[in-house]
Amino acid sequence: MTALTRFQDHGVLVTGAARGIGAAVARRLAEEGGKVLVTDRDLPEAEKTAAGLREQGLTVEAFECDVADRGSVEAAVAHAVGTFGALDVLVNSAASCTPDVPLFEDEPDDTWARDLDVTLTGVYRCCRAALPHLAASGRGAVVSIGSVNARLDFGNHAYSAAKAGLGSLTRTLAGHAAARGVRVNLVEPGTVRTSAWDGREDELDALRGLYPLGRVGEPADIAAAVAFLASRDAAWITGTALRVDGGLTAAHSGFHAVVRPPGV
C-alpha cells in the first residue's frame, strides 16, 4: 500500500471500475485516503471489487451506473455526494470497444453509435452531472482515460474516434471549468494487460517488442498517472493529455529494428 495520502477525505467516483484500469484507479485513490465509489454496469463485479478493497481497510462502496443513461449517471453522482459528503474527483474509465468488421462499409450503425455513446458521450454525461459538485468542493478534478488510438491507427474506428473526441472535450471543458476551480485532464494509455486480453497472451508477448520500454502496461501504471493528475501535485495542470504508453508513440521500434539492427 502506498504511503501517500493525497486524497485523504476526498470523495471520489470512478466509472467502469469493476475491473481493469478502473479497478486499479479505485484501489490507488483509496490507498491514498480517498473515499471511493466504484461504479459499473456490472454491479456484482463492482461489489466484488469494492469488497476486496474494504477487506484491506479502505473506504470503498459499489454502485450500479450505466454511463449511457443520464438518470443512472445522475443517481451515481448523487449517491457519491450523499455518502461521502462531497465529490472532489471524477475518473471516467468506462468505455465500449467493438471489434471492427473486415470492411469499413459494412460497419453497422448500432455498434458505431454504441461505442461513441459510451466512450465519449458517457464522459460528457458524467462531467455534466459532477461539475457543480466538483466546483463546490474547491479542489475538484476530472481525469478521463483516453487512448493512444486517438493519435495513431491501431484499429477500432468508432472507439478511436471517440477517444480522439475525448481530447477535444478535455481541452474545452478545462477552459470552461478553470474559473470554477476544477481541473480537467486526460491519460492516454498504450496496450495495458487487462481481462480484455484474456486468451490472447501470445499477442501481448508479441506486442512487447513494439514498446521501447520493453513491456506492455499494467493497470497500476495508468492508476499512478491518474492519481498524479487528480492530486494537488498537478495543481497547475489542466487541459493536458498525458501519454502513458511505454514510448510507443515517441519511437518506432519496428522501424529501428530494420534500419539499425540490434548490436550494430
Closest CA to 39 of 84, 75, 82: 75
The residue written with cell numbers 453522482 in the block is 77
Distance CA 79, CA 87 (A): 10
Give the max Cα distance, the chain.
62
What is the bridge-based pairing of β-strands 89-92 and 35-40?
unpaired
Q: Are 93 and 22 in contact (CB under 8 A)?
A: yes
Q: What are phi and psi of 213, to 5 degrees?
A: -85, 5
Q: Are 177 and 217 in contact (CB under 8 A)?
A: no
**Residues identified as active-site:** 159, 163
